[in-house]
Amino acid sequence: MENNENQSYSEVTLSVVDPEKPLPTDIYLKVNEKFIKFKSKGDPIGTDKFELFISKGVKNIFIISDEIMDFLAWLNSSKAEEEDSFAKEAGEESRGFFQRTQNFKEKIYEVYFEEELNEEIVEALQDNVSDFVENIKESPITAQAISLMLNKNQGVADHSVNVANLSVFLGMALGHGHQFVLENLYMGAIFHDYGKLKIDPKVLESDNSRLYSNAIQEHPLSGVKMLRKTQGIPVQVLTIIEQHHEQFNGHGYPKGMSGDDIYDLAQVVSMANVFDNTLTEGKQLPTRERNKRAIKVIEFDKGKLWNPKYIPRVIEALTLAFSIKKEVA
């Protein structure tokens, strides 16, 4: 279709669109100040494309202004349909929760990827993180997940919450600002060791035994297996769980994936996981030493576990967050 110079377009937030529903009108993207047709009426956006755009920071799509009323009517009716089916499944009393999460899905956190980090920016990032975490904790799925893990194994539950909070911080520091992406990151981190809950605690304590190492090798996939049947767990969350022990150099498990084949959010959770484990191992050290040591583990990785492109930014963010520079100076 010819791009008509005089055509006027209206903006709609991408995240409110259900990527699997056939669109009521054509939609456009704005590239270098030009409107490019992206999808035709009747086609869905598709979850893969949707997620790719969201993770790349595309916030809006455009509709020809003459058709915007049709588009908005479609948005409203699909929201109402979704709300009805949610209320049918989860009970009438959950309507309010559904409405709150819908509004919240439109939220985009400010990130500062283009800027050099300093104390002020890191403080703002930390505020964003607490804001995000407070909200997501109200979600029934998150609350259920945490209490389920607490009942089974307090250690795994505490570790999971730490890793989830830290993952969101690192994710934001690496430029992820969208609710949709951060939610997947948080849930992936909460559930990353879910497969460990199936392991007999006696086996978990028996270091070096064959049983122990087999169980450990299996925990990413058994976590995925256990959660696959749970409704409402997005595939991105399962991918994080499956790949959180894969390594950039290909020496990880369960599949030995390498380089960019590993999902970037799984790499973020892997960094947070190692960081928290190093903190726990250094329990006897003074806090500052402990933090310094955990940061060093990431700094000295040199492409073993993680893509080196993340490291400078992650080190900067962690150093500022734990005020290492400030105290050293």
What residues make contact with Fe ion under the rule CB under 5 A? 193
Please name every residue paired with 27 in a beta bridge, in sequence order, or none if there are none: 39
Q: Enter the tokens of residue 38.
A: 């992206």
Q: Which residue is nearest to Fe ion (CB)?
A: 193
CA distance 75 to 300: 49
- Taking the least distance from each CB to Fe ion, the nearer of 135 and 249 is 249
Q: Are 164 and 149 in contact (CB under 8 A)?
A: no
Smallest gap, in angstroms, from Cβ of residue 152 to Fe ion?
15
Smallest gap, in angstroms, from Cβ of residue 193 to Fe ion?
4
- Taking the least distance from each CB to Fe ion, the nearer of 68 and 221 is 221
Residue type, 309: K
Smallest gap, in angstroms, from Cβ of residue 295 to Fe ion?
21
Residue type, 151: N
Residue type, 250: G
* Residue 46 DSSP symbol: -
Smallest gap, in angstroms, from Cβ of residue 238 to Fe ion?
14
The 10 Å Cβ neighbour count of residue 50 is 19
Please name every residue paired with 37 in a beta bridge, in sequence order, or none if there are none: 28
- Taking the least distance from each CB to Fe ion, the nearer of 54 and 215 is 215
- Taking the least distance from each CB to Fe ion, the nearer of 108 and 204 is 204
Smallest gap, in angstroms, from Cβ of residue 271 to Fe ion?
13
Smallest gap, in angstroms, from Cβ of residue 267 to Fe ion?
14
- Taking the least distance from each CB to Fe ion, the nearer of 193 and 276 is 193
Smallest gap, in angstroms, from Cβ of residue 195 to Fe ion?
8
**Whole-number Cα distances in Å, 192 to 44, 58, 217, 219:** 31, 28, 13, 9
Nearest to 240 by CA among 301, 298, 309, 167: 167
Q: Enter the tokens of residue 44.
A: 């869905």
In the numeric block, the tokens 């809950």 are attached to 197
- Taking the least distance from each CB to Fe ion, the nearer of 193 and 301 is 193
Q: Helices in 91-191 by DSSP H: which ranges?
A: 95-105, 119-136, 140-152, 154-173, 179-190
The 10 Å Cβ neighbour count of residue 104 is 15
Smallest gap, in angstroms, from Cβ of residue 254 to Fe ion?
11
Smallest gap, in angstroms, from Cβ of residue 277 to Fe ion?
9
Q: Are 62 and 35 in contact (CB under 8 A)?
A: yes
Pair type for strands 60-64 and 34-39: unpaired
CA distance 189 to 159: 10
- Taking the least distance from each CB to Fe ion, the nearer of 180 and 191 is 191
- Taking the least distance from each CB to Fe ion, the nearer of 64 and 197 is 197
Nearest to 292 by CA among 245, 327, 266: 327
- Taking the least distance from each CB to Fe ion, the nearer of 168 and 240 is 240
